[in-house]
Structure 1
Amino acid sequence: MDIRKIFEAISVELSAKFQKTMQIKHNGGKGDNRENAFVDFLKEYLPNKYGIGRGEVISPENEISGELDIVIFDKDHCPLFLKSDSHSLYPRESVFGAISMKSHLDSAELKDAYNNIASLKKIISTQGFTNSLTPGMSTGLNPVVPVTAIFSYATNRSLEAIAKQVNDLDKKMSNINLRPDFVVVLGLGIIGPNGRIRNNFNTYNLPSDPDKLSLSRATGRHTLLRFYMQFLDELNSITQPKLDLHSYFDMPSIVGEYKVKKHDKLIVKFNGEEEASVKRLTLSAINKIVKNSKIVTLEQHFINHIGVLPSGAGKIYDLSSYIYEYNPKNKPPLQIQRDDNGHPIGDVNTFQPLHIEIDGNKYAIDGNSITDDDFEENPDFTVNELMSH
């Protein structure tokens, strides 16, 4: 049996389907039919653990990729937040790879596909994780870098011309790891590293020689088989982290130009209100906080907040890390007073911080320096719902 002959026949079939789409006048219809033909191939020949879909990828930080023509995801373990044949929303931890589909790979289409792939890679985690690859033993793993490719049915350029543009696009990238792993033209060849990019423990090692990144291989009739084997080899080298759904439930909200967290579940009772309700900080309040906060070390923040550095704090916290303090009245550290019943209460004239996050930075906001006008009702939660967590 000659496997090459089988894939050569599949390649001819895909090319024939592409030619049929040329008779469709509506561009959207053409694109859907081309992608469907390739999706059918992937569904038939990739292992069952890999799901094939289309849509966007989202991170726990509420970052979203561009629209991806083909997404390869963990079908067995990870849920989809939104599912349809035309568009799904995939949690970052479920994604193994993505492919940008093109009809004719001219210079504009290649540049567009580069940006599309980069939109996915920009939101992947940079944090390593541990996983139990064998019972009773945890192994440290590098963050996952999805396998990515640009796949075209045809081009009016030579493989060498495409490779030259690939090299030029690579040189312009602020982070070379954002590039697609492979550029493929059906029946013509593959541009990209010849050897494995991913190895044990999710390591991702691109060749340091730029020419090897844009290495062109005129694989001709065997292009589909060679691409399939290399792409699947890279997919199978990936170990995904466990999906923490709570991180998506608690992910930051988009407020104006900011990504804000812990600002929208505040149980507040204004003067004149009979009952407390759930409120959130307004955009104008967040603007004010960002503009008027001062950055200090965590060590200095402890002193500003409670007057002393807690015993043993250096063993628990990174005291050299930074936090932004919003204390516009320069209130002194917290002083405890007691009400008429002897219950401890904070002195409103001292620094009593509320902690939130803005664009990934920690903020300590003096609770008595924000006013009723800085809040708005949050219809997404009730007091009972928050208290039940």
Structure 2
Amino acid sequence: MSKEPSFEEKEVDLRKSLVETAERAIALRNKDREFHGVEREFNYHQAQMIVDYERTKDIKHPRDLGNARETLLRSFLTDSGYLPKKYAVSDLSVRVASETGHISNEIDIAIYDSEELITLMKRQDVYEVYPIESVYGVIQVKSNLTKKELKSGFKNLESFKKLKDSSNNPNNKFALLFAYCSDMKWEDIVKEIKEFSKENPKSVYPNAIFILDLGFFIFGEEDGSRAITNVDIQSLQKVSLRGFPDRQQLNLYQFQTILLELLRSANVSPANLGSYFRLPLVTEEASYQFTLGSFAEVEKCEKHGDYAKKIPAESLEIIVNWCLKSEPINWVKATNIAYNLPEDEEAYKRQPQVVYIYNPDGLDLPDILTYELKDDEGNVMATPLAYDMIETNQMNIWIPYYYSVKESLISGCIKCEKEKIKKAK
């Protein structure tokens, strides 16, 4: 009894038959006129790209190999004529930055607004840093899509889709995964993509996954409707994965049409260079900055020298959540209370900025916002302020040193901490 052909084997036979039929039809149309649509052109482009990809297998160094395969797709985008001139394609790998201080992993190809782009950093011929505002979307390129490479591609694209644009426009910047081939079975690819979609929010889903010699995948509703743009993906009620095997050697055409749809729905805006002058510090999803900048960021350890003060993610969350439930106070008024000075309503009106003071124990402000600086004989020389000022979540927050020490809100010298852990063992 003969063995039932696998899905992949059936697809190979079906594709061969359909491609041969299409090629015969194209040959007949060629006799009638020179141009009869882009079907033939994309058929040629895809066939040539696969040939060029096979030639790159002679390259031994992994980075050179990766660059060569990125170049194949990059050249198609820039030279084929199917990408409108208003869209520019990065020459190098790119990292994309946000005003929040977050930055993406290394991205193979970025498509950006050539008229408004400012390059935030350039490192020789290795990679560049672009502001998120100028980028329409990104493409991560893989050679042979293995389970490991699929997860790695998702991770890089996720790092881009998590970035926040400074504009008030809805985020419709896209992220595509493009591979030349895969040794994985179709059902295994489906399984991996479904697992990713179950474990992650829709906001970080890739807009499409293409495997040049196999087909492509997009998300949609269970009723069969497709979701390409971020808005459509976010509105999905019951997420379903839709797979389209490439049976006519037109996967590159499908890639280009979806790319154009995503580009036309994406939004860009001018980046403010000043907002990238000194980026906030980041803690996972959140970010913050010390109001006094570098003067407040640096502390000195008597043993190890300078170290950077940082607020761990869990500490920042505690501080922000408490402050959101508290009432802000005029900063001049808070200072006057700390120094037992009389009320000054005129001063409060002239300087109306408010602050949140982290004070979960409800202590008197003079006890936590100042401290007495004494000489060797115990005489009070001055009463300086005793708190850190940070900006986060659109709030100005004062964190008294008292709570920083009591609750270990701000990290100390990392080297000292490591030594303590080592001794404890």
Instruction: Decide: shared fold, TM above 0.5.
Output: yes
Which of 236, 240, 260 does residue 289 from structure 2 map onto? 260
Deviation at 1:301, TM superposition (A): 3.3
Maintained 8 Å contact 2:280/2:287: no
Tell whether the 8 Å contact from 1:187 to 1:222 is kept in structure 2 after alignment.
Answer: no
Matches within 5 A, 1:279-318: 281-282=298-299, 286=309, 295-296=322-323, 299-302=327-330, 304-306=334-336
Q: Secondary structure at the match of 1:88?
A: strand
Greater fraction helix: 2
The count of residues paired between Structure 1 and Structure 2 equals: 326
How far did residue 258 of structure 1 move? 7.9
Query: For the Cα contact (< 8 Å) 1:196–1:234, is it kept in 2?
Result: no
Instruction: Note if 1:67 corresponds to 2:106.
Output: yes
Matched, 1:198 2:225: no
CA separation of 1:281/1:203 partners in 2, compared to 1, >3 Å: closer, same or farther? Answer: farther
- Structure 2 counterparts to residues 1-389 of structure 1, below 5 A: 1-44=36-79, 45-53=82-90, 54-83=93-122, 85-125=125-165, 129=168, 141-142=169-170, 144-173=171-200, 175-193=201-219, 195=226, 197-198=228-229, 205-211=234-240, 214-220=241-247, 221-253=249-281, 259-264=288-293, 281-282=298-299, 286=309, 295-296=322-323, 299-302=327-330, 304-306=334-336, 323-324=357-358, 330-331=365-366, 355-357=389-391, 362-364=396-398
Unaligned runs of 5+ in 1: 130-140, 267-278, 335-347, 375-389
Q: % of aligned pairs identical?
A: 23
Preserved CA contact (<8 Å) 2:133 2:268 = yes
Equivalent residues of 1:298, 1:318 under 8 A apart: no
Partner of 1:386: none
Distance 1:23 1:219 in 2: 26
Pairwise CA distance, 1:85: 4.5
C-alpha contact (below 8 Å) 1:333/1:350 kept by paired residues: no
Q: 1:309 to 1:49 in 2, by over 3 A?
A: farther
- Give, in angstroms, the shift of residue 332 of structure 1: 6.9
The list of structure 1 runs, each at least 4 consecutive aligned residues, that deviate by more than 4 angstroms after superposition, is 283-298, 303-311, 316-319, 325-329, 348-354, 358-361
Structure 2 residue runs without a partner (length 5+): 1-35, 220-224, 301-306, 338-342, 370-381, 405-409, 411-425
Structure 2 vs 1, CA of residues 365 and 108 (structure 1 numbering), >3 Å: closer, same or farther?
A: closer
TM-score normalised over the length of structure 1: 0.70
Q: What's the offset of the Cα at 1:233?
A: 0.8
Of stretches 153-162 and 13-22 in structure 1, the one that deviates more from structure 2 is 153-162
CA distance in 2: counterparts of 1:333 and 1:254, whole angstroms: 27
The alpha-carbon deviation at position 163 of structure 1 amounts to 1.9
Per the alignment, in what secondary structure is the counterpart of residue 192 of structure 1? strand
Residues 285, 85 of structure 1: alpha-carbon distance in 2 compared, 3 angstrom cutoff? closer
Q: Which amino acid aligns with 1:166?
A: I
CA distance in 1, matches of 2:157, 2:258: 18
CA distance in 2, matches of 1:18, 1:323: 60
Contact residue 108 and residue 141 of structure 2 kept, 8 A: yes
8 Å contact kept, 1:264–1:281:
no
Residue 117 to residue 254, structure 1, CA distance change in 2 (3 Å):
closer
Aligned CA distance change for structure 1 residues 183 and 197 (closer, same or farther; 3 Å):
closer
Q: Distance in 1 between matches of 2:245 and 2:62?
A: 29
- Measured in 1, the distance between the counterparts of 2:210 and 2:94 equals 21
C-alpha distance in 2 between matches for 1:58 and 1:187: 33
317 and 183 in structure 1: CA distance in 2 versus 1, 3 angstrom threshold: farther
Distance 2:150 2:49 in 1: 20
Pairwise CA RMSD: 4.3
User: How high is the TM-score relative to the length of structure 2?
Assistant: 0.64
2:328–2:356 CA contact under 8 A, matched in 1: no
| 3-state DSSP of counterpart to 1:68 | coil
User: Is the Cα contact below 8 Å between 2:100 and 2:287 reproduced in 1?
Assistant: no
